[in-house]
Amino acid sequence: MIEMLRINHQFAIGKKGKERVVPVLHDIDLHVREGEIVAIVGRSGSGKSTLLNLMSGYIRPTSGEIRVAGQSVTSLSEGEWANFRLARLGFMFQSFQLIPSMTAFENAELPLVLKGLGVSERRKRVMELLEQVGIADYAGHYPGELSGGQQQRVSVARSLMLNPPIVLADEPTGSLDSDNERQLLALIQHLNQDKGTTFVLITHDEQVASIAHRTVNLKDGYLLNAYGKGDNPAHEVH
């Protein structure tokens, strides 16, 4: 479902002509199979978020190739990537990324508007998903009127609105209390088991990583291991 082949990435910082190159990822080979939940764990600065941004096309690798759902996406233009994301990817963010001036309904509805669906079809789909994540009673509320857990549920509903086969999640439970975290993890497992949705979870939370079929460890930009439950965690795949 996602293939990262010999990926290297570096950033240039400083003034033009005096830039300093900072390597971030080194020779990454990572394969995420269809229907997997994969957790990417590591300390702050290990390259986790960079890896996720490469998967989603927000940045391009310095070298290597990325394939998503069988398509090489490394050289897609920004417009092509935008269309690809809309069709194939869903996103969960720690900071929710809700638009303050839009209600919960309107925030969740946004992918359907971009897709060009009609009003009645949009309303039916939005209310179904808001009901599924337990936030339908707050459809008319603005983000500032919702708790952190409620905002996350709206964000989750938005990420699932187009039934994406792949969901990329960056610290999805980082702003949630224990009860809301358990509910979100249960929803992820439900979607994975019932709909076959593939999840890539960026996390430092052991509870989040525990629901994954496979854990990928990053340290200083190197992939140390990629193992599943019952596999040998000492297996190195540099």
Tokens of 211: 């629901």
**Is the model's pLDDT at 227 over the cut of 70?**
no
The average pLDDT across 92-109 equals 90
List the domains of the chain with CATH numbers. Answer: 2-65+76-97+164-228 (3.40.50.300)
Q: Please give the pLDDT value at position 228.
A: 52
> Measuring CA to CA, which residue among 119, 57, 138, 61 is closest to residue 91?
57
> Counting Cβ atoms within 10 Å, is residue 16 exposed (0-12), middle (13-18) or buried (19+)?
exposed
User: What integer is the mean pLDDT of 213-223?
Assistant: 91
Q: Residue 232's pLDDT is what?
A: 40
| pLDDT tens digits, 47-99 | 898 999 999 889 999 999 999 988 899 988 999 988 888 889 998 877 788 99
- The reported pLDDT for the residue numbered 226 is 57
What per-residue confidence (pLDDT) applies to 12?
83
Phi, psi at 103, each rounded to 5° = -70, 170
